[in-house]
Amino acid sequence: MKRDQLTFRIRLLSGIIVLGALLITARLYFIQVVSADHYAEKAEKQYVHTKTDLYSRGSIMFTTRDGAKLSAAAIQSGFVLAANPNHLTIPPSEFCESLSDYIETSLERCTERISTPGRVYVELASRISNDEADEIELLNIDGALLYKNQWRYYPGGSLAARSIGFVGFTDDGVELRGKYGLERQYDSTLFEKRQVLSVNFFAELFSNLGELVYRKEENKSGDIVTTLEPSVSRMLDTVLLETNEKYESKLTGAIVMRPDTGEIVAMNAVPGFDLNDRSGATIDQFQNPLVENVYEFGSTIKALTMAAGLDSGAIVPSTTYYDSGSIELDTFTIRNFDGRGRGTVPMQEVLNQSLNTGVSFIVQEMGKDEFRDYFKGFKLGSETGIDLPNEAHGLVDNLDSPRDVEYATASFGQGIAMTPIAATRALATLGNGGKLVTPHLVTEIQYNNGDVKEINYPDGKNVLTAETSEEISRMLVNVVDDALKGGKVALPNHTIGAKTGTAQIPDPVNGGYYEDKFLHSFFGYFPAFEPEFIVFMYTVEPQGVRYASETLTDPFMDITKFLINYYSIPPDR
C-alpha cells in the first residue's frame, strides 16, 4: 500500500470519527439544552422517586441545669408516601379514602392527581413517621409506595419558638435555610452542603466554554449548644400563656437572664406557634418582639434614673424634695400617676410610690448633660449584640433635645423606647455591680470534624460603681418588702429587688398617647445582692386593669419561686 493511500485512509477515518462526535454532541445539545423543557415534562410523567442524599442539618441543643444537652432542633427520619397510579387495583377515590389519615392534600385533590394520565409517581405526604409507615404497610394497598426521608424536627414544639426559629426554602426553592431565630443567626454553621450535585454537563459546556474546572467549597458545619434551659422555658411559656389569656393582652413576653454573664436561660413571647406545624401562624408570631420591637416601658426605668442620681452624687437615699403633685416644664405639666402631692418626700418613697415628680427632681439635680451621659451609657439606644437576627436599636433622640421636659419624661420611661432585651441588660447593671453584659444564647459550637469552639463574650463596661449597685439594690428590696402589694409578696428567706412600670401607649395616628391603652412591665432580680437571675416581663394592652402591679406581680413571683426551688438557691436572709 502506497504511503499516500495510507495517509488518505487515516484522514478519512479521522474525519468520520470527528463528524460522528460532532453529530452526537449536536444531538445531545439539542436534547439537553434546546428541548430541555419538552423532555423534562416527559420525564415528570415517568418520574420514579430517587434520592441521592437525605436532608441533613446541624442540631440546636438546650442545656439543662445539670449540664445535659437536649435537642431543641434536630433531624427526624421517616418516609415519603407516594402512589404509582399504574399499580392501583381499586378506583383512585377509594385509594385516597383508604389513606386519608396520612395524606397532606384533600381527597378531591388526591383523586385528581392520581387520575392524571401518564403519571407513575404522585407524592401524597412527605413526613410519614415510622409508626405511620408500619400502619400503611399493614393496609397492603397496591400502588402505595414508601420511601425513606428526613426533615427538620423540633421536639419542644412551641417551646422557645421565637428564639429557636425554623428553616424554610430559599426563594429559588432549592435549599432549606434558616429563616428566623437561632436557625437563621447560625445558619452558616448549621447548614450542611449536599455531597451529590446534579450538573447538566452539556449546558454547562456550551454556556461556559473554557470554564472546565469545577470547584466545590466546603463549609465547617456542626451543632450549637445554647444556654436555654428546657424546664425553665416550659415553665415560662406556661406563665406567659396564663397571663396573656387572663388579661386578654395582645402580647406578653419575658426574659430570664443571668445578670452577671448575660446568659439567657429562657425567653419567649405569646401568642406563639408550633415549630412543627406553622399553619395558621402569622409573620408577627415568627418574629421575636423581645429583640426586634421597641416599647416605652414607663416606671421600670425609674430604677435607672435613681441609680444614675446616686452614682453621680446628685442625691443620696436620704435626699428629700417637696412634691406638690405636678411640675411645669416648657409649658408642659408633669404629674404623678394619681395627680396627688405627697409633701416632703425622701428618695425611697419615689420608688415605693412610683412618683414622676420625684425622678424629674433627680434629673434637675443632675443636670441634663449628666443625665444624658448616664442613660446613653446604659446603651438604651444601641443594639445589645445578642446572637439573634434583626435586633432593633432604641429610640432615644429625646435625650438630645434642648427642652427640659424631654429629660423629665425620659426619667420615668416615656418619650424613649427600647427593646426588652436592651432594657433587661441595662436593669441588670443594678444588681451585678454595674456591669453592662452581652446577652447571649449560644456558648459552644460542636463541629462535625470533632472540633469544639467555646464562644466567649466580653465582661462588659462598668456604668455604675459597685457601691451604687448595692445601694439601689437595697432600695429596690424595700420596694418589694414594703410597697409591692403592701409587702404581702415578699419572701421570708430571699431578698428580691423589683419595680413595676405602667406606660401609656403612643398613638401613631393622632400623636400623643392613648388614654385607655397601656403597656405593663415588671423587672426583678434575686437574691438581691448577689443575683442569680433577673426576670423582665411585659404585657401589651391588658384588659380590665390599669396598673402593672395588678397584672404582673403574681406571674413574676411564680417565676421567682420556681427558679429558687429548681436551682436550690440558698437563702440570703
How does DSSP assign 259-295, residue by residue? TTT-BEEEEEEES--BTTB-TT--HHHHS-HHHH--B
Predicted confidence (pLDDT) at residue 473 exceeds the cutoff of 80: yes
d(CA 573, CA 492): 7
Share of the chain above pLDDT 90, in %: 70
pLDDT at 6: 66
Q: Note whether 52-60+72-153 and 230-566 share their fold.
A: no
- The strand pair at 513-526 and 497-506 is best described as antiparallel
Helices (H), 412-465: 420-428
- Mean pLDDT of all residues in 489-503: 96
pLDDT at 176: 84
Average pLDDT, the chain: 88
- Mean pLDDT of all residues in 216-231: 83
Predicted confidence (pLDDT) at residue 194 exceeds the cutoff of 90: no
- For the stretch 234-288, pLDDT in tens is 999 999 999 999 999 999 999 999 999 999 999 999 999 999 988 888 889 999 9
- Mean pLDDT of all residues in 527-540: 97
- For the stretch 405-433, pLDDT in tens is 999 999 999 999 999 999 999 999 999 99
For residue 29, give every residue at least 6 positions away whose Cβ sits within 8 Å of its Cβ, in sequence order, or none. 202, 206
Domain positions in the chain: 3-34, 52-60+72-153, 230-566
> Is the model's pTM score more than 0.85?
no
Predicted confidence (pLDDT) at residue 199 exceeds the cutoff of 60: no
- For the stretch 53-96, pLDDT in tens is 567 899 999 999 999 999 999 998 889 999 999 899 999 999 99
pLDDT at 318: 94
Does the structural domain 52-60+72-153 have CATH classification 3.40.50.2300?
no
User: One-letter amino acid identity for 500?
Assistant: T
Backbone dihedral region for residue 10 (phi beyond 0: left; psi -120 to 50: alpha; all else: beta): alpha
- The strand pair at 60-63 and 222-226 is best described as parallel
pLDDT band at 222 (very low <50, low <70, confident <90, very high): very high
d(CA 275, CA 161): 6
d(CA 436, CA 385): 12
User: One-letter amino acid identity for 404?
Assistant: D
Give me 216's grid cell. Answer: 466545590
CATH superfamily of 230-566: DD-peptidase/beta-lactamase superfamily (3.40.710.10)
Predicted confidence (pLDDT) at residue 314 exceeds the cutoff of 70: yes
pLDDT band at 210 (very low <50, low <70, confident <90, very high): very low
d(CA 324, CA 326): 6
d(CA 331, CA 443): 52
Count of CB atoms situated within 10 Å of the CB of 127: 18
Lowest mean pLDDT among 30-34, 137-141, 390-394, 485-489: 30-34
Evaluated on CA atoms 466, 469, 472, 476, the torsion sign reads negative
